[in-house]
Amino acid sequence: MVRHNVYFWLDESLSDDDKVAFEGGLGALFEIDVVSTGSFGRAAETPERPVTHNSFDYALVLEFECVDQHNAYQIHPEHDVFVEKFGPWFREVRVFDTQF
């Protein structure tokens, strides 16, 4: 299994409606056939500690059965639609992939 963790820092000028649209785009990624499961959320309001990084706006977590399915997701047309539509809103994106 591969867990694909993506952290987004968005443009600060986005409206609440823009954020709702972004959340819809994140949710649409769960429908891609090679995605086993997915979820997204906002940074938790947990106490600050030296090891905590919660300055991001959204986190996306997708799981795939194998690396090949992850790789197929990366070139899937619906993934491209998400990146093309919302990419201009990204200030920063970080990806952490883990294999189990």
Quote the pLDDT of residue 78.
97
Residue pair 11/59 in contact (Cβ under 8 Å)? The answer is no
Please check whether residue 26 lies inside any domain of the structure.
Answer: yes
Q: Which neighbouring-strand residues pair with 5?
A: 61, 96
What are the residue ranges in the chain where pLDDT is below 50?
none
Quote the pLDDT of residue 68.
98
Please check whether residue 39 lies inside any domain of the structure.
Answer: yes
Please check whether residue 64 lies inside any domain of the structure.
Answer: no
pLDDT in tens, 24-43: 999 999 999 999 999 999 99
Give the amino acid at 86: F
Domain that holds residue 25: 1-6+17-43+69-86
Quote the pLDDT of residue 67.
98
Token duo for residue 47: 């106490």
Please check whether residue 49 lies inside any domain of the structure.
Answer: no
Task: Report the number of distinct structural domains present in the chain.
Answer: 1
Measure the CA–CA gap between 7 and 24, rounded to whole angstroms.
16
Quote the pLDDT of residue 3.
98
Quote the pLDDT of residue 7.
98
